[in-house]
Structure 1
Amino acid sequence: MDTTSELRQRVPLNKVPQPTSSADFVHPSGRAKYGRFRSYFRALTFSIYFTLGIVATHVTQILGSPLYFIDKDLYYAYMSLTKANFGLLTTTMTQWWAPTVIRVSGDASVAGQLSLTPDGRIECAFPERLVLIANHQIYTDWLYLWWVGYTSNPQMHGHIYIILKESLKWIPFIGPGCMFLSFIFMSRKMATDRPRLAHRLGKLKTVHKKPDGQTYLNPMWLLLFPEGTNLSANGRNKSAAWAAKSGQQDLQHLMLPRSTGMYYCLSELKGTVDYVYDCAVAYEGIPRGKFGEDYFSLSSTYFQGRPPKSVNFYWRRYAVADIPLGSAEEFDQWMRKIWAEKDELMEQYMATGRFPANGAGIKGHIETEVRTKHWWEFFQIFTMLGAFGLLFNVILKLFRQILRN
């Protein structure tokens, strides 16, 4: 890998276009593809589809919630199906309203785990239990990473767990739905969050027993954003101030990671998860020193036809056994080292428009797009609710028949 200083010499800072006002603002994806009327129409159709999908998923969760008092294992298996349905919802809405190129590479630690199917879809062979960490560029990072779970063999989009801001709990349908999905809401105060984390992580490391006596752990991808929030001017300023105050080396393209929550998670899950997968995420065309949130809003991405031209992933894997979990200080140093390396990867991306291509046994980069294997898979979002409707209709007819007799 080229050094950071060498890469900076390739693209001097004063030659990188940096919009400073609305007059010279240039969107990385070019002009809006759709005019005002078509943008409004796309917004309407998107809203209808997303609302129907959210309502169908949440009502399905409510109807299945009594299973918790009957059989907890059955309840969690049922909720994982609703989680997979939500993953299909986000995948299909991106496929139809915001198609984009996904460009993937990685180092030698993920060799043989990334491949391209004959029909052009990526397939990853990641394990069923892992902790996934990533830098947080824009609010839709989690959407693309959830799709990665869909591409896994076996599919893992029904077994993803995300740590969210506590404020999201109060959004209608979304908040309660995420609670049914066993997502973890954090207040960012460890004294308050520790009992919640302990309870939820305890669920994730519960050992189950088959009828034949064999034991197993449920599949789990725990997604963490160690930076705590998405990258922004305010976040970068706070990160730089903290670096200066604590005597740490500041980063160019990322915010300093917060290690406390991840340290606690890995300490609790140790012995039940073998690997941490790190994903460096970059969006094509964001000028040096600027931030994705200023370009890729919901309106720009889904309504105006200006999604990122490409979303770029670079994967690395770390064995939990090799991660220093002996003390919080040692872990913090390890975490900062990982983020410094990721910052160099981001510098290479800024300078060349590509993450490194070698190391993962891949010729060049894998290029694909966010899409489902079959066009009709979106029907699965509504299948469970439809089954409840049919069952209710049958019961209602039987009840009427009894009354007539």
Structure 2
Amino acid sequence: MLLVLNSALVCVNTAFWSVLICCLALLKLLLPIPAWQRVVSKACNGFMWAWATLNYKLLMLTSDVEWDVEGGEGLNKEGWYLLISNHLSWTDIVVIFSVFRNRIPMAKFFLKQQLLYVPFLGLACWAVDMPFMKRYSRQYLIKHPEKRGCDLETTRKSCTRFRHTPTTVVNFVEGTRFTDEKQKQTRSPFNHLLAPKTGGIAYTLGAMGEQFDAIINVTVAYPENRTLPFKDLLSGRMKKVVVRVHTLPVDEKVTGDYFNDKVFKRHFHQWLTSVWEEKDRELEAIYAKSPAMLSGKVPEQSSVRTQ
């Protein structure tokens, strides 16, 4: 019963704010004045905040979850960030919005250029300034070598609006949700993670690297609900959500020409692998602990454990 009720409430909440965002998107499209568009973008971000806040409050009405959140000191809503995270479930998106909605600018996801032309979805994503990327396949670039580098330049241009608007871009580095089956199929060297895909994060840093103040490295875990966390959350059976936040610098280790500099590409791969090794050890420690049967709310300040 709770599963049906919560699913319906989340869908209604999502539909309501999506309609409002699409209405503002039309105004933004009809009046292509930069100052006006920034005002509309700010309003749309406010709608996203309201959507995330209501989702959290709706789910907490029927759930008794312990939120164990540590780290993230010094983050603020006026910064520019790249947020990377492991990926277990659709729940991760709810958790990221819930934990960070009052700490950093509203999260944005890089989307494929083709989604811009999907009815309603493309318009809504454009209205909230989701960055669109244009990628050419390897086969296409072999036939059209003159296009090499053009996709990155196109994406850079789509990100120019973020120079004056604080932004958080989210990248699930594994590229897909973790399952034991995927771990075996891909022969992942990690116990609790899939191997990270370097291309996506390198592409993001290549397009926006000079704009980011820091990389936010997030580890998410559901110690007692690892099999079906999203269903358990909607059903009121989620017991504990663990979030660990580490802030990494944007320095010479992550800024370089990944696609043409083979030495930098190798060093970048080594850097990301070391980050994932530490994340795997962190997850091992989280799962090794006996979960406490306590309840609480998402802390509004970092390094606070709510019980």
Task: Please give the range of the TM-score, normalised by the shorter of the 2 chains.
Answer: 0.7 to 0.9
Q: Does 1:91 align with 2:42?
A: no
What corresponds to 2:277 in structure 1? 340
* Whole-Å separation in 1 of the counterparts to 2:91 and 2:9: 19
Q: Does 1:51 align with 2:15?
A: yes
Give runs of aligned pairs for residues 88-127 of structure 1, distance below 5 A: 88-98=50-60, 99=63, 100-106=65-71, 110=72, 112-113=73-74, 124-125=75-76
Give runs of aligned pairs for residues 19-34 of structure 1, distance below 5 A: none
* Whole-Å separation in 1 of the counterparts to 2:25 and 2:162: 24
- Using the TM superposition, give the Cα deviation of residue 295 of structure 1 relative to its aligned residue in structure 2, in angstroms: 1.2
Which stretches in structure 1 are left out of the alignment for 5+ residues?
Answer: 1-35, 114-123, 209-216, 244-249, 287-291, 355-363, 370-405
- Assess, with a 3 A threshold, how the Cα gap between structure 1 residues 200 and 143 changes in structure 2: closer, same or farther: farther
* Whole-Å separation in 1 of the counterparts to 2:181 and 2:133: 21
Which stretches in structure 2 are left out of the alignment for 5+ residues?
Answer: 141-147, 257-263, 292-301
- Using the TM superposition, give the Cα deviation of residue 311 of structure 1 relative to its aligned residue in structure 2, in angstroms: 1.8
- Assess, with a 3 A threshold, how the Cα gap between structure 1 residues 352 and 366 changes in structure 2: closer, same or farther: same
- Using the TM superposition, give the Cα deviation of residue 60 of structure 1 relative to its aligned residue in structure 2, in angstroms: 2.6
- Using the TM superposition, give the Cα deviation of residue 62 of structure 1 relative to its aligned residue in structure 2, in angstroms: 2.0
Q: Does 1:81 align with 2:43?
A: yes
* Whole-Å separation in 2 of the counterparts to 1:173 and 1:237: 38
Give runs of aligned pairs for residues 384-403 of structure 1, distance below 5 A: none
2:304 counterpart letter in structure 1: I
* Whole-Å separation in 2 of the counterparts to 1:206 and 1:166: 16
* Whole-Å separation in 2 of the counterparts to 1:332 and 1:368: 36
- Assess, with a 3 A threshold, how the Cα gap between structure 1 residues 350 and 164 changes in structure 2: closer, same or farther: farther
- Assess, with a 3 A threshold, how the Cα gap between structure 1 residues 93 and 207 changes in structure 2: closer, same or farther: closer
What corresponds to 2:153 in structure 1? 198
Indicate conservation of the 8 Å contact 2:219/2:279, yes or no. Answer: yes
TM-score computed with the length of structure 1 as normaliser: 0.60
Q: Does 1:305 align with 2:269?
A: no
- Using the TM superposition, give the Cα deviation of residue 137 of structure 1 relative to its aligned residue in structure 2, in angstroms: 1.4
Which of the numbers 77, 81, 97 marks the counterpart of 1:130? Answer: 81
TM-score computed with the length of structure 2 as normaliser: 0.76
Residue deviations 1:290-326, cap 9 Å, x none?
xx4x41235x422x322x3222111112211252544
- Using the TM superposition, give the Cα deviation of residue 61 of structure 1 relative to its aligned residue in structure 2, in angstroms: 2.0
1:219 counterpart letter in structure 2: P
* Whole-Å separation in 1 of the counterparts to 2:155 and 2:290: 39
What corresponds to 2:105 in structure 1? 156
- Using the TM superposition, give the Cα deviation of residue 190 of structure 1 relative to its aligned residue in structure 2, in angstroms: 5.5
Give runs of aligned pairs for residues 153-302 of structure 1, distance below 5 A: 156-157=105-106, 160-164=107-111, 173-184=120-131, 195=150, 197-205=152-160, 217-240=164-187, 250-286=189-225, 292=226, 294-298=227-231, 300-302=232-234
* Whole-Å separation in 1 of the counterparts to 2:20 and 2:78: 30
* Whole-Å separation in 2 of the counterparts to 1:131 and 1:42: 31
CA RMSD of aligned residues (A): 3.3
- Using the TM superposition, give the Cα deviation of residue 46 of structure 1 relative to its aligned residue in structure 2, in angstroms: 4.0
1:333 counterpart letter in structure 2: Q
- Assess, with a 3 A threshold, how the Cα gap between structure 1 residues 259 and 324 changes in structure 2: closer, same or farther: same
Q: Secondary structure at the match of 2:170?
A: strand
Indicate conservation of the 8 Å contact 2:68/2:306, yes or no. Answer: yes
**Count of paired positions:** 279
* Whole-Å separation in 2 of the counterparts to 1:199 and 1:80: 24
| Rg larger in structure | 1
Residue deviations 1:31-66, cap 9 Å, x none?
xxxxx4x65444444433332232222223223321
Q: Secondary structure at the match of 2:49?
A: helix
Identical pairs, percent: 20
Indicate conservation of the 8 Å contact 2:133/2:154, yes or no. Answer: no
What corresponds to 1:377 in structure 2? none
2:109 counterpart letter in structure 1: I
- Assess, with a 3 A threshold, how the Cα gap between structure 1 residues 367 and 170 changes in structure 2: closer, same or farther: farther
What corresponds to 1:320 in structure 2? 250
What corresponds to 1:366 in structure 2? 304
* Whole-Å separation in 2 of the counterparts to 1:194 and 1:94: 41
- Assess, with a 3 A threshold, how the Cα gap between structure 1 residues 171 and 301 changes in structure 2: closer, same or farther: farther
2:305 counterpart letter in structure 1: E
